[in-house]
């Protein structure tokens, strides 16, 4: 009985605090994305209208690790039993991609650039998937981009 109570408390706490943390992070991302809305980010290798300026292109790299809460981990373990898509982790991946992109943008801005091209994203499970690590499911998103100085007046 005590085990069931602890399990239910962990599920409710994971759902409550996980949802709260997710909402805060999404609000922060929306605010930062609105501030950096002018910043050009693309997967193109180079820009049309590229202007060689005083700054040479430079690599910028950002990494983000977002941990899963107990509730999402529980839902994922149920999905593993029955098979199918683990939708509870979609928001983790989305938030990690958006966070990494914003970190790249902020880093490039600090270096004096106004655009990033050749953007590449990689994902990895850094928490492991063994039975002893049930609550440690994490996602790592790495973005590597070459930042170019781009003249918007020639477009």
The DSSP code for 123 is: E
The DSSP code for 61 is: E
The whole-number pLDDT of residue 34 equals 92
- What is the Cα Rg of the chain in Å? 20
CA angle 126–99–41, rounded 5-degree value = 120
Query: How many whole angstroms separate alpha carbon 47 and alpha carbon 30?
Result: 26
Query: How many whole angstroms separate alpha carbon 70 and alpha carbon 80?
Result: 15
The whole-number pLDDT of residue 135 equals 41
The whole-number pLDDT of residue 132 equals 42
The whole-number pLDDT of residue 140 equals 53
What's the order of all strands across the beta sheet hosting 40-41? 40-41, 115-124, 138-147, 58-67
Query: How many whole angstroms separate alpha carbon 9 and alpha carbon 12?
Result: 5
Which structural domain range is residue 10 located in? 2-154
For 20, the 3-state DSSP assignment is helix
Give me the residues paired with residue 142 across strands.
63, 122
Q: Which residue has the tokens 């805060």?
A: 24
The whole-number pLDDT of residue 131 equals 47
Counting the structural domains of the chain, the total is: 1
- Nearest in space to 113 (alpha carbons), one of 59, 37, 49: 59
The whole-number pLDDT of residue 31 equals 93
Residue 20 sits in a domain of what CATH number?
Answer: 3.30.110.70
pTM equals: 0.74
Contact 75, 88 (CB under 8 A): yes
Q: Is the dihedral of CA 64, 70, 72, 74 positive or negative?
A: positive
139 phi and psi angles, rounded to 5 deg: -125, 135
The whole-number pLDDT of residue 108 equals 87
Q: Report residues of the chain scoring pLDDT below 50.
A: 131-137, 155
**109, two tokens:** 């801005």
The whole-number pLDDT of residue 27 equals 93
């Amino acid at each position: 009985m005590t085990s069931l109570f602890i399990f239910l408390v962990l599920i409710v706490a994971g759902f409550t605090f996980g949802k709260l943390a997710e909402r805060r992070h999404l609000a922060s991302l929306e605010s930062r994305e609105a501030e950096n809305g002018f910043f050009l980010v693309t997967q193109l290798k180079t820009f049309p209208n590229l202007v060689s300026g005083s700054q040479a292109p430079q690599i910028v790299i950002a990494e983000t690790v977002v941990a899963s809460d107990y509730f999402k981990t529980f839902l994922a373990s149920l999905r593993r039993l029955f098979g199918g898509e683990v939708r509870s982790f979609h928001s983790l991946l989305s938030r990690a991609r958006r966070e990494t992109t914003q970190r790249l943008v902020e880093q490039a801005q600090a270096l004096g650039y106004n655009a990033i091209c050749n953007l590449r994203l990689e994902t990895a499970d850094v928490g492991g998937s063994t039975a002893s690590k049930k609550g440690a499911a994490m996602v790592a998103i790495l973005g590597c981009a070459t930042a170019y100085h781009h003249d918007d007046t020639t477009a």
